[in-house]
Structure formats: structure tokens, C-alpha cells
Structure 1
Amino acid sequence: MTVWDRQEPPPRPVPLDRERIVAAAVALADEGGLEAVSLRKVAARLNAGPMRLYGYISTKEELLDLMVDAVQAEILPEELPGDWRAALRDLANGTRRTALRHEWLADLLGGRPAFGPNGLAVADATLAALDGLADIDTVMRAVETVSSYFTGAIRREIANLRAERATGLSKHEWQRASGPYLTKMLATGRYPTLTKAVYDGTDMDAEASFATGLDWVLDAVSTKLTGS
């Protein structure tokens, strides 16, 4: 039996329910990352004894599943566009915005399928955007391809944000600090293509880079789905 199937115990002196428990866990994770979340810490946030929580949630893994499902409610817009590319773009951007609000989500993206009601709704909407364009196996591979792109891009962006906080250096400050060493290494001539990228490449911010890569992936998927 999954956590989604189990009935909640009746409330006692300190009112509890899964919604309050999950909201407290999400708040802790937003403040300090997943390492800040434990059943004991959630119980303390709610002024309840830790054993009370086990009537609602059996393990930390169940709690993480519930947390992911809770924030996945933020991904879906009220209505998706009818055009499949626009719909997938909206879902990808919704996932990115949600992960930037809840950075811990990046650590859990791309793992086990999400079977909570919100996760199922996101999965269904994603598949529905492509429904009828190709057979279901092709549609599923297309969805996996797009999801793999934006999951990796989001994780890289979050990792960079964490690095900035850990070092106290912005992207450009870090580049300036690393500049003398990198210049010396490139001057050896052993890295000609990297040298070209460093000196001739265009620097893009995270949002523009995400959008450009997503459009390229959608272009590639389009050739498989529609031949154009």
C-alpha cells in the first residue's frame, strides 16, 4: 500500500494532517535544503512529538514523495496551449520556475516516476500535448528526450547558484578570479577549440541558454513527430 492509499489517523490535541506536515517539510527544505528535512525536525516545526508523524508518514522517502508532489502543483498552468511545442515549452519553463523557488527539487528530478496526483497530472498533460502526433511509443520517447534536456539544464543552473552562494562570487567574479590561470593554460596551445569558445563565444544568461537549448531539442523532436 502506498502513502497515497493509506487513511490518515484522527486528529489529536495538536491538529495534524499530511498537508500540514508536507507544508512544514517544504518550508524546511526551502530554508536549508533536503539535509534540513527529517521527521524529527518537521515534528518540531509543528510542535508535535516525532512519533505522531508516523501515523501519517512511515519513512523519509514517503515524505520526499509527498513534498515533490506538493510542489508539482506549481508546474501546471491553468490551461496549456493547443500547439504541442508551446505546451512542452510551458511545462519545461514551469518546471524551471518551480525548481528555482524550491531548489531542493533539482536533487529529486529525473528519479523515480511521481505517482502522486499532481505528478500524474503533469505526466498526463505532457503526454496529452503530443497525443495523436505519433504512436504512443514515439510520444513517450519524445517526452523522455525533452524531459532529459530540461532536467539536466535545471540541475546545472541550480548547481551554479549554489556555487555562487558557497564561494560568495558571482559568475563574472569567479571568471575574473579564474582568468589568469585559464589564460595561462589556453596559451599553451593544447586546447585550441576551448580557446576559440572562451574568446569568441557569446556569453548567455541562464534563462536565455535554457530557452535556446529547449528550442533546439524541440526542433529535433519535431523531425521525429512530424517530419519537419
Structure 2
Amino acid sequence: INGQNIIGCHKSATANMISYFLDLKGPSCTIDTACSSSFHAMAVGYDYIMSGKCEDAIIGTANLCFAPIVNLQFTRLGVLSPTGYCRPFDSTANGYARGETVAVIYLQKAKNAKRIYAICPHIKLNNDGYKEEGITYPSSQMQYTLLKEFYEECKIPTSYLDYVEAHGTATIAGDPPEINAIYNVFCTNRETPLMIGSVKSNLGHTESASGFNQIAKVKQISIFIFY
């Protein structure tokens, strides 16, 4: 019960331990989809609110590098930078540095909000399916499909965008497919430059928690430009 036994340490119980200690009665579950975990959890919370299952959603994410063996295995996989520098979209990009993050966001309907820091007009998920290259290789085509369908569904012209915060892991397998998808969706017949970036160049890759770092970065940029 205190989190030190096999039940308390199991991943399936993590969210429920928080609900237990805070006496929260709403739906409580752990979502693990690797690097997309925080955004996937946000999508679930968004869907719960829009479908009327709940009025508010507390979504937490964390990535803590406690076990050295994980670093060793990622090094053997070839995704970590041997220099310790994370250079997304750079010609010298040779992998990322692992980072740590603990972050929480609070979602609610705008009509109930006392203050609004950002608006989430739409969320969409998809999956690559089968790929001959292997499960760890992202699909540029599926990223293109997701972005194209997303902006068509929320009726926001892609020409309105000035900046895109990308996943940008600084890996050979990940960066080129993402850049191609962004280019094909946003830059066809575009008259002005599109800025792109990745917070991983500052903080490293926080893996399951990386999505919320992206939100925090873009929000800070918005505040700086606005004020």
C-alpha cells in the first residue's frame, strides 16, 4: 500500500497510487506509448472532456533516468549521441542525450476556466502499422497523413502557421522522415518561410515526457512575443 511492494511498484498502479493518496474518484490509468505517451494521454483527456465523461482532466508525465542499464541499452541501439550533444535536424546529428522531466497539465472547457494559457482546438492520433524497416523506424507517409487530416478536420489553413515545434530526436532514422512530412504538408506553395525547432536541442530527449516540454517551450515563446 505504501508503494514499496510489488503492487505499488508496478507500472499499472502508478496513476492509481496518485488517485489513492489524493482521493481522486475519476478515471485513472497509466498510458505508455513510448515517446508519444504524454501527447497520447492528453488526447485521452481531451476526448473524455469533449465526450462529456468528465469536466476536467489532470495529465501528468515523467521521465527519470534512474537505471544506468537503460542508457547502456540505448547506446547499443545506436540512438544516443556519443558526444552528449543533441543536434536536431543538423547534418552532424548523431543521436540524442537523455533528459529528465516531470510535468503536469490541467485541461478543462474554456467556459469553465478562470484563466486560459493556451487553447487546444483539436487532437488526432494514428499509428504507422507495419514497416519493412522495423518498428523503431517512423513512417514519413503516416506523419504526412496525420498532419494533413488534422488541419483539414480543424479547418486551420497550414499557411497560417509561422512555427512548428517538431519531435526532432537528432537521429538519422527519425529526423529526415519528419522533415519530409512537415515540408510536404506545410511548405507546398508556401510564400513565407516556416520556422521549425525542437526543444531537445536544449533539454535532450525526455522520451515519454517530451511532448509536454514542447508545449512549455512554445507557450513561453508565445508569451515572449505577445508581451
Query: Which TM-score tier does this pair reach, normalised by the shorter chain?
Result: under 0.3
TM-score by structure 2 length? 0.27
Higher relative contact order, structure no. (Cα contacts within 8 Å, ≥ 6 residues apart) = 2
Higher helix share: 1
User: Which has more radius of gyration?
Assistant: 1
TM-score by structure 1 length? 0.27
